[in-house]
Chains A and B, each alone.
Chain A
């Protein structure tokens, strides 16, 4: 079946460090891929998305590229800030009649000053 696998957390970084959170997926066909972020005590926010192979989603300095050959959608940021501390969820959605987000387990990022 369809699934999303994320690297386990927590990920602890110093401010201005480079961030990578790995995400791979298992799916038939070509789903859309998403990264959502959940800040402490808040709901989920859509961070970025990519809808087809080789698309790069970007927002707030975060980037992720849809890699069909490796079935991956790794999240990266060149220089993290304390305010980036949150839980990050990778997800996929086929849309259409099966419009349903399938989430990874989430990765907690803690950025220290």
Chain B
């Protein structure tokens, strides 16, 4: 398995500001993913981040709102821009460690927007 860490673990932010969430893996992986888990809800994929290419966004998510960077094979960031209370969620990164379609998740970042 791999150790996947996220920073920050939680934050409280004001409306209209932006927050960048970091995801670090202790081994090189091709595919990294960002999910959102709204309060009491299931997980929804925001985008897939492959090193060396633009992130691929799911329907309902746009790059201007959720810009993603993937500078190398062990690191990615997700920015939540111009936040509103509706962005209050847990944001999780995951990796496909073995290319076997099973994904392993980081501990999540709990974001509250006031």
| A residues lining the B interface (CB < 8 Å) | 32, 34, 36, 42-46, 49, 51, 89, 93-96, 99-101, 103-106
| B residues lining the A interface (CB < 8 Å) | 31, 33, 35, 41-45, 48, 58, 92, 94, 96, 100-108
Q: Is A100 a contact of B105 with CB atoms below 8 Å?
A: no
Q: Is A103 a contact of B43 with CB atoms below 8 Å?
A: yes
Q: Is A95 a contact of B105 with CB atoms below 8 Å?
A: no
Q: Is B43 a contact of A44 with CB atoms below 8 Å?
A: yes
**Inter-chain contacts of B94 with A (CB < 8 A):** 44, 101
**Inter-chain contacts of B105 with A (CB < 8 A):** 36, 43-45
Which one of A32, A45, A104 lies within 8 Å of B101 (CB-CB)? A32
Q: Kindly provide the distance from the CB of B3 to the nearest chain A CB, expressed in whole angstroms.
A: 12
Give the docked Cα–Cα distance between A43 and B37 (Å): 11
* 29 residue pairs bridging A and B, Cβ less than 8 Å apart: A32-B102, A34-B102, A36-B105, A43-B92, A43-B106, A43-B108, A44-B43, A44-B92, A44-B105, A45-B105, A46-B102, A46-B103, A46-B104, A89-B42, A89-B43, A93-B102, A93-B103, A95-B101, A99-B48, A99-B101, A100-B33, A100-B48, A100-B58, A101-B33, A101-B94, A103-B43, A103-B44, A104-B42, A105-B42
